[in-house]
Amino acid sequence: MPHDHAIQCIHDPLLVVLSYLVSVLGSFTALQLAIAIPAARTAGQRLRAIFTAGAAMGGGAIWAMHFIAMLACRMDLAVSYDPGITATSAVVAMVSCMLGLGIASAGTFGWGKLIIAGLFMGLGVTGMHYSGMAAMVMPATIHYDTTLVGASALIAIVASIVALWLAFNLRGWMQMLGSALVMGVAVCGMHYTGMQAATFVPMHDAPAHVAGLSGANLGMGIFTVTTALLAVMLVTSLVRQRQRAMVQI
């Protein structure tokens, strides 16, 4: 439904690029970490591998990409983000990815199980996106196009099924890098479809100043911190893989 006074969201190109890069790095790191899930010899090792791979996928590839891309959205009104809801959206993303990896890796691999795991993960990612949108504190209301909301959810579910299949079927570096590049496109596609579904309509009687997370440098800060954490996780994973290979020789 068109709105006469709707505000357009203009995206900052630099933050859009950074959101894609962090999604690719998060996807690549998660795929590397997922190698340890089927290789685990104990329940504790398996849980730790699911936790770290899910954190990299949900926190880095998905949530950090989403939040940086949200900060890339520039509008002619003051916008900040509620810290509690924003933190909750990050937890939702990570837990849904951990659940997806846990379901998909339990017992013998099968397409039925993979689709159920992807459904859980995809709906969790969708929940993360729209709870992240609900964290926006601004003198405006958000109206959604239900068709585009449905499309964004479908993209999230399909991307999740693909990500889970890749996590348990890829081992080569070049395969993983190519898959991470594609996953970055899928995650960004879900986010920007969700953003396209939103129309922002100003509330003229609302206060101009809003409190919460904001600032021009916040997106750069999130990118820097997330990249550093993912790099540490990736290096640690590669060192452990080498140690396991040395033990087997």
Residue 212: what pLDDT? 54
pLDDT in tens, 111-138: 888 999 999 899 999 999 999 999 988 8
pLDDT in tens, 171-188: 778 888 888 898 899 999
Distance of alpha carbon 138 from alpha carbon 70, whole angstroms:
13
Distance of alpha carbon 182 from alpha carbon 153, whole angstroms:
18
* 68 pLDDT higher than 70: yes
pLDDT in tens, 133-154: 999 888 888 999 999 999 999 9
Distance of alpha carbon 218 from alpha carbon 103, whole angstroms:
35
Tokens matching residue 193: 């479809």
Residue 1: what pLDDT? 44
155-160 average pLDDT score: 92
- How many CB atoms sit inside 10 A of residue 112's CB? 7
Distance of alpha carbon 112 from alpha carbon 50, whole angstroms:
20
Closest CA to 226 of 16, 24, 13: 24
pLDDT in tens, 184-233: 999 999 999 999 999 888 887 655 555 555 555 677 788 888 888 888 88
Provide, rounded to the nearest whole percent, the portion of the chain with pLDDT above 90. 38
